[in-house]
Each structure stands twice: as C-alpha cells, then as structure tokens.
Amino acid sequence: RILMSVTEIRSGFTAIKANIQARDPIRTLSILSHPQSLHKVKSSDRCCIIHNLFNFYMDKVFKHCQTEDSYINRKISSIANSFLSIKKKLEQCHNQNKCLCGQESTEKFKQILANYEGLNITSAAIKSLGELDILLDWMEKSR
C-alpha cells in the first residue's frame, strides 16, 4: 500500500511541480542528486535512506514551505500527510531492525544534510520540495 500512497504523493506533486520549482532559482545546486546520486545507493541501504529521507522531509522541509497560495498550501498538506502515513508504515520495518544503515548510506545522508544546510532554510526547503520527483523516481524505479 506504500506504492499507492506514493502514487498519491506523485499526483499531488505533479499539481504543484512547476510552481514550486519556479520558486527555486538555483540551478547549480541539488539537495538529493549531486554530488552523489540517489541512483547509486545499494539496495541493502535503500530502506535506511528512505527512512531517513522521510524524516528529513517531515522535520525539515514541509513546515518551511508555506506559500501565499492556498491551493499550493493544501497540496503541500496533502503530500505531507501522505508522507506521514508512509512514515508510520516504514517505522514498523525500522523497529523490527530490518532497516539498518550502512556506512555508505550514512555518508550519503550526511551529504544531503550538508547540501540542505548550505542554503538558507526557506530556499533549502523549497528546493527539497521541488526535488520530490527525484526521490519518487528513485523509489519507484528500485522497488
């Protein structure tokens, strides 16, 4: 059922993608895809990266993406609540120790946090939200 919630997130994101990405003028930096791509993550590290990234989006991204547009805010709420419902399901895996973090994924996630902290909080949050399809593409491709 995670897949179906991901489909709902994808649909919510598609509705706001152009608007959110237009608010991110920085072409030369990425939070998720550079310098190291998500697509290079080993499958054994997948669960840990997804778990960390869902926490990252819940704790550091959605709450800093308030806009003046109520439609955009409602869609962000919809995505955030879908994230929360997936996060709770992932927590079951994490609590049963099926989601261990290897050295590589720990480094990878540190890099993502470093990219995020390299910008001011609102720009970093909007950029992260605008890169949601990078996360979804990677999750769907490697399921």
Partner 1 sequence: MKNVLHWSAPEGTGDGVLYKVKYSVYGVGKWIRKPECRNINRTWCDLSNETADYEEQYYASVKAFLNGMCSDWMETTRFNPLTDTKIDPPMVNVSSTEKSISIILTAPEKWKRSPDGESVSLLQVYPGLQYNVSVLNKKTKKRWFFSVSNNTLVVPWLEPGTAYCVSAQIHVTTPLLHSGFSKEYCIATLKDKTA
Partner 2 sequence: LGEDALLPSPQNISILSTNMRHFLTWSPVTIQGETVRYSVEFQGEYEREYANESWIPICECSLITATVCNITEDISATVAYNLRVRADIGARRSQWGTLKGFFNRITTSLTPPPMKVIADGYHLLVELKDMGPAFQFCVLYWKKEPYWLMQWKMVKDVSSTVHLDTMEAGHDYCVKAQTYVETINRSSSFSQTQCVRAQGGRSL
Which residues of this chain interact with partner 1, rule CB under 8 A? 3, 6-7, 10-11, 14, 18, 21-22, 27-30, 33-34, 37, 39, 130, 133-134, 136-138, 140-141, 143
Is 40 or 103 the residue whose CB approaches partner 1 more closely? Answer: 40
The CA-atom distances, in angstroms, between 42 and each of 32, 72, 91, 96 are 15, 34, 20, 20
> Considering only CA atoms, which of 40, 52, 58 is closest in space to residue 113?
52
Residue 8 makes contact with partner 2 by CB under 8 A: yes
Q: Which of partner 2, partner 1, none lies near 42, with the C-beta cut-off 5 to 8 A by kind?
A: none
Only segment of 16-24, 33-41, 82-90, 119-127 that touches partner 2 (CB under 8 A): 82-90
Residue 100 DSSP symbol: -
Min dist CB 48 to partner 1, Å, is 20
Of 13, 54, 62, 109, the one binding partner 2 (CB under 8 A) is 62
Residue 130 makes contact with partner 2 by CB under 8 A: no
Query: 114: exposed, middle or buried (C-beta count within 10 Å: 0-12, 13-18, 19+)?
Result: exposed
Q: Which residues are within 8 A (CB) of 85 and not within 5 positions of it... i.e. 6 or more apart? A: 5
Q: Which residues are within 8 A (CB) of 137 and not within 5 positions of it... i.e. 6 or more apart? A: none
Which stretches of the chain bind partner 2, using CB under 8 A?
1, 3-5, 8, 11-12, 58-59, 62-63, 70-71, 73-74, 77-78, 80-85
